[in-house]
Structure 1
Amino acid sequence: MLLILLGVLILHLIILVLLFVSTAANAWTVGGSSSTDLWYNCLTTNGGYHCRPASNEDWIQAVQALMVLSVLFCFFSLIAFVYQLFRLVKGGRFFFTAIFQILASLFVMCGAIIYTVMGPQGDSSASYGYAYVLAWVAFPLCLISGLIYIVLRKRE
């Protein structure tokens, strides 16, 4: 049982790191000498690195909010898991933790979908960067983790 709990905890920490990196990294869209993330649009010219804030469009603000919410809900889920690990009665399930983790999964999915549909697509040399891929990798892991918490029972 200890190995299962340790595995679930490590999976949760990996998901939290993936979500944090995908939210903060400057590589949602890369191409040529430019890179775009949720917060800045950066351009490399003549050896200089120039960044300007992301646009004030509604869709990018929605993606920003959803990704920040996914990180927060994943973190709160981790706190709830540790709390329930010590306070939950024998045989109880980790429903509260599961709900937070599934909500984090839905937030990251919605944010990635909005970015996919509305993202910058004018530059033909641009492609999606590693932060975008990490967000999509975090989505199923987060969902699977939430489902594991639903099934998981506390034992002595």
Structure 2
Amino acid sequence: MPTLWIQSCLIAPPPAPPPLLLPFWVKSKVHLASVTDLTVLTMLILQISAVVSAFISLLLTLIALGSDHWVLIGNLNRGLWKFCRPSASSYICFTYSMDLEPDSYHATRAFLFFGMIAGAISCIGLCCTFFPFQLGSISKTKSSAIASLIAAGCVLIAMATFTGCLTPQRSSEWSYGWSFGLGWASFPLFLITGGLAFPLDRAVSTAA
């Protein structure tokens, strides 16, 4: 009896079952599915980020172009199209005369307007990436990226022109307003939009 008990204790446990061996085509499909899921997730993140950046930059450009708080001189607010002064109950605004406006105002308006058009093209093109249609051989993402960089260049020229022409007029009662700040803020956002659209274009080309 003791001998049988010792022999039963010395018997080795049964070997573990061999690992499940998948065929190579199954392994390749699993790997391809994981890579595809990662690519789709990357594309979705880039799409959403680019659209949000394009929309915000375009919105800031529109607000800056149409608002009247570019320069604050005491109680007077000056914009690109008119200036306003306080009255008894509210502000009274007066439109600039075309003959009396400095050339810097015309240049700032023109380049901001061009930047607004390019930004709108970029925003529309990025929104169209969510829909499965193609305009011939035109890449929607690459066109949007180029349009964003063009918009950034136009905004940079406009803001640099306005800043350089008004800098010598600084005084203790003279300061830039929030419209001026929004104009400058749209410039890096257009660059960010272009920086997001180019990787998105590469991801779309890879997925295709």
User: Could you say which TM-score interval applies, normalised by the shorter chain?
Assistant: 0.7 to 0.9
Please give the TM-score of this superposition, normalised by the length of structure 1: 0.86
Hey, what's the Cα distance between the residues in 2 that align with 1:103 and 1:51? 33
Which stretch shifts more, 116-125 or 66-75? Answer: 116-125
Alignment partner, residue 181 of structure 2:
133
Letter paired with 2:141? F
- Structure of higher CA gyration radius: 2
Which stretch shifts more, 17-26 or 76-85? Answer: 76-85
Letter paired with 2:70? W
Please say if 1:26 is aligned against 2:64: no
Mapping of residues 93-108 of structure 1, within 5 Å: 94-108=141-155
- 1:41-90 deviation line (CA, Å, top 9, x unaligned): 2122444523222343222111011111111110011122233553359x
Please give the TM-score of this superposition, normalised by the length of structure 2: 0.66
- 1:30-49 deviation line (CA, Å, top 9, x unaligned): 13210011111212244452
Which 5+ residue runs of structure 1 have no aligned equivalent? none
Partner SS for 2:156: helix
Contact 1:29 1:128 in 2 (8 A): yes
The alignment-based identity, stated in percent, is 23
- Kindly state the Cα deviation for residue 151 of structure 1 after the two structures are TM-superposed: 2.1
Letter paired with 1:87? F
Q: How many pairs were matched up?
A: 154
Contact 1:28 1:37 in 2 (8 A): yes
- 1:99-134 deviation line (CA, Å, top 9, x unaligned): 111010011111111110113726541111111111
Alignment partner, residue 159 of structure 2:
112
Q: How large is the Cα RMSD of the aligned pairs?
A: 2.3
Which stretch shifts more, 16-25 or 113-122? Answer: 113-122
Partner SS for 1:56: coil
1:74 to 119, 124, 128: 119
Alignment partner, residue 149 of structure 1:
197
Partner SS for 1:149: helix
Letter paired with 2:83? N
Partner SS for 2:85: strand
Contact 1:93 1:151 in 2 (8 A): no
Which 5+ residue runs of structure 2 have no aligned equivalent? 1-42
Alignment partner, residue 80 of structure 2:
38
Letter paired with 1:77? S
Hey, what's the Cα distance between the residues in 1 that align with 2:128 and 2:50? 15
